[in-house]
Amino acid sequence: MAEVARESLELERPIVRRSLHDELVERLRVLITEGELEPGVKVPEKALCDRYAVSRTPMREALKVLAREGLVELVPNRGATVTRLTVADLDEVFPIMGVLEALAGELACKNIDDAGVAKIERHHAQMAQCYEQRDLKGYFSSNQEIHEAISAAAGNPTLTGMQSALAGRIRRARYLANMSDARWEEAVAEHEAMLKALRERDGTRLGAILRTHLENKCATVKDAIGRDRSTA
């Protein structure tokens, strides 16, 4: 409960440090990916400006970034609306991200040093602890840090930028799917295999695992979308 309270306070405090633009984009992205701003709803620009103590100009610039990521739709003179995620979206985005993640894994194995591996090992240990505690939000956070660390270790800013452009849609899809115990266990096993391949600097194997991992995640989200439609 204390952890949740801290995260809530982080999202509520006025923005006074870092890049205003980057910080605002990330906060809005979290509101969408974690479901506070639900698909189909109009983004309450004025309320969010008050919430984060910013003017309309940086808010609208941030929404333009999210529109390029496919998280919102901008309609002239009508503001922004949170987009709905469809199976077609998944079929468009996940294969591209799979290729990018596989390439990041191959390059990371060429470029990462022991300190970089140790950092990912720490993220993995934290993720495993969250799994044992059934802390899904904490698990997702550590999971994301692992993938971001692998991307950074690839040492290719162009590749990292392409991954970042799709990351919001991937994160949003992830939060839509409540993993079964069996799939959660499988995902943890996939991450253990990733870590082993990284330690051994086996780029081909790590790339293949990352791609399969994303394919399995896509299948889980598709199942969730199908269940939602069948009960609508």
Instruction: Tell me: pLDDT of 151 over 80.
Output: yes
Mean pLDDT of 139-144: 90
Instruction: Tell me: pLDDT of 128 over 80.
Output: yes
CATH topology identical between 2-82 and 87-231: no
Q: Among candidates 84, 75, 71, 6, which has minimal Cα distance to 40? A: 84
- At the topology level, CATH places domain 87-231 in Four Helix Bundle (Hemerythrin (Met), subunit A) (1.20.120)
Q: Which amino acid is at 134?
A: R
Q: What pLDDT, on a 0 to 100 scale, did the predictor assign at position 232?
A: 47
Q: What residue spans define the domains of the chain?
A: 2-82, 87-231
Looking at every residue in the chain, the average pLDDT score rounds to: 87
User: pLDDT digits over 68-127, tens only?
Assistant: 888 999 988 889 999 988 888 889 999 999 999 999 999 999 999 999 999 999 999 999
For residue 27, the tally of other CB atoms under 10 A from its CB is 19
Q: What pLDDT, on a 0 to 100 scale, did the predictor assign at position 4?
A: 46
The helix (run of H) or strand (run of E) holding residue 225 is helix 203-231
- What predicted TM-score, i.e. pTM, was given to this entire model? 0.77
Instruction: Tell me: pLDDT of 16 over 60.
Output: no
Query: What is the dihedral sign for C-alpha 155, 212, 196, 137?
Result: positive
For residue 37, the tally of other CB atoms under 10 A from its CB is 22
Lowest mean per-residue pLDDT among 99-103, 111-115, 161-165, 168-172: 168-172
DSSP symbol at 1: -
What is 2-82's CATH number, 3.40.50.970, 3.40.50.1370, 3.40.50.2000, 1.10.10.10?
1.10.10.10
User: Distance between CA 59 and CA 117 in Å, rounded?
Assistant: 38
Top-confidence residue, 114 or 171: 114
